[in-house]
């Protein structure tokens, strides 16, 4: 990668649209669900799957379900996207919705 390509890639990364999302990780084998919020919904699944594969996920119940059921039993879903207001307002709305969905679905915090 040339210096010009690198600078262009950095500029594109900084200019990307900012959004906050509520997501769910579901284990179809056990029926367990974990719901959380993220400012980077399009890259989160890759990070989660990597930590789970390495056995280093910070969420111990998710790691235990992964170890028991395997990758094929897991699914990642974006439940809601917020991108039309300030970062603080997006975060607050996302966290409120995540709490409501966890209570409604009997889910754990991701």
Residue 15 lies in a domain: no
Residue 59 lies in a domain: yes
Query: Does residue 71 fall inside a structural domain?
Result: yes
pLDDT of 12 over the 80 cut: no
For residue 57, the enclosing domain spans 20-109
Closest alpha carbon to 93 in 39, 32, 15, 24: 39
Q: Domain for residue 68, yes or no?
A: yes
Q: Is residue 92 part of a domain?
A: yes
Model pTM?
0.83
Give the CA count within 13 Å in the CB-facing half-sphere of 65.
Answer: 22
Which is it for strands 108-109 and 74-82: parallel, antiparallel or unpaired?
unpaired
The span from the CA of 23 to the CA of 76, in Å, is 7
Position 55 in a domain: yes
In a domain, 5, yes or no: no
Output the domain CATH number for residue 69.
Answer: 3.40.1440.10
Q: What is the pLDDT of residue 55?
A: 98
């Amino acid at each position: 990668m040339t210096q010009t390509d690198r600078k262009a890639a950095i500029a594109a990364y900084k200019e990307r649209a900012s959004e906050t999302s509520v997501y769910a990780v579901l284990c179809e084998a056990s029926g367990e669900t974990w719901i959380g919020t993220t400012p980077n919904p399009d890259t989160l699944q890759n990070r989660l799957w990597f930590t789970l594969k390495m056995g280093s996920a910070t969420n111990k119940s998710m790691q235990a379900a992964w170890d028991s059921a395997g990758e094929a039993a897991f699914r990642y879903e974006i439940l809601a996207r917020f991108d039309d207001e300030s970062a603080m307002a997006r975060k607050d709305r996302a966290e409120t919705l995540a709490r409501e969905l966890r209570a409604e679905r009997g889910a754990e915090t991701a």
